Amino acid sequence: MDINDFDFELPEKLIAQTPLQDRTASRLLVMNRKSKEIEHKHFPDIKNYLKKGDCLVLNDTRVLPARLYGIKKDTGAKLEVLLLQQEEEDCWEVLAKPAKKIKVGTELVFGDGRLRAFCLETREHGGRILQFNYDGIFYEVLDELGEMPLPPYITEQLSEKERYQTVFAKEEGSAAAPTAGLHFTNELLDELKDMGVIIAFITLHVGLGTFRPVSVDNIDDHTMHSEFYHMTAETAETLKAVKKNNGRIISVGTTSTRTIETIARDNDGEFVASSGWTDIFIYPPYNFQAIDGLITNFHLPKSTLIMLVSALVDRVSILRAYNEAVYEEYRFFSFGDAMLII
């Protein structure tokens, strides 16, 4: 399948640069999987499409303020590092800029010395392994010194760090927010629970690979990045019960989708407690084993994310919906509006 089959025209003005003050104020495009009919609603209207016994699967990953600005101790040269993945204890894989200034043995200083790091290893494309030294608790130091690693298409600064976190974010370790979850408030979740909608949680730590463009013409040749996931026994049992009782599983975001589809794929369609790394690449045609519906934001042209969404309905219908969203001037990407496929 050709990468250009997933292209569409997107005016730059539709890329949302800042979040709405009210999380639930986003618009909601609703697509029926069977009829392909489209409706234009607002996010709280999601209550009208869910029923007792349905289950929303939310990703409870928490975004690290992973962008650090510091200097080389010996020269005072300014530099930037972005935490990618914890290797062990205080050792992290990072993306460094300018990478050529950071060689093995280089000492880095952040926040007037409150956080220091030594380069242990160099990797390709600006990757480095750093060992951090600090007093106290690492995540508390990082929260004070770090900035949110906003996607490259967002050029404005974020005034409140928590606005790039979901209200249910708990498990530290993500390089980006599971943005479909940003539309929910605790109040809306409580309303859904009162209706009998079941809320379940998985964890998938989003990697920066989610922002990397597909660099091949034939998408069959694309290799997905790996991301760490975890499903508890409680969630596995909840999802089993939902299926047994003929409820619908609606994943909130592509990250939740990739997690539970990975687990179902690896366990003959069953949900089991598990942890691991997934590089699952979902694109048409694909036989979904876990989900019945999806809540998601509007994604970049020619991205693996729009391919996943296309696999749930069909490519032509999804591109028609995207073109209609452009015409209706929906807000796109991380801080943008939402889409419900059900």
Nearest to 94 by CA among 103, 84, 109: 84
pLDDT exceeds 80 at position 209:
no
Quote the pLDDT of residue 211. Answer: 62
Cα 137 to Cα 89, 131, 132, 144, 308, distances in angstroms:
12, 15, 12, 11, 38
Low-confidence winner among 41-45, 141-145, 336-340 (lowest mean pLDDT): 141-145
Q: Answer whether residue 21 is part of any domain.
A: yes
CATH number at residue 16: 3.40.1780.10
- In the block, tokens 């005034």 appear at 159
Domain extent, residue 207, equals 3-63+160-341
Question: The pTM is what?
Answer: 0.90
Quote the pLDDT of residue 149. Answer: 85
Distance CA 298, CA 125 (A): 29
Report pLDDT digits (tens) over 233-265.
999 999 999 999 999 999 999 999 999 999 999
Check residues 123 and 231 and name the one with the higher pLDDT: 231
Q: What is the mean pLDDT of the chain?
A: 94
Q: Answer whether residue 284 is part of any domain.
A: yes
Distance CA 141, CA 172 (A): 14
Q: Which of 120, 147, 174 is the last residue of a domain?
A: 147
Mean predicted confidence (pLDDT) in 37-44: 98
CATH number at residue 111: 2.40.10.240
Q: How many domains does the chain have?
A: 2
pLDDT exceeds 90 at position 151:
no
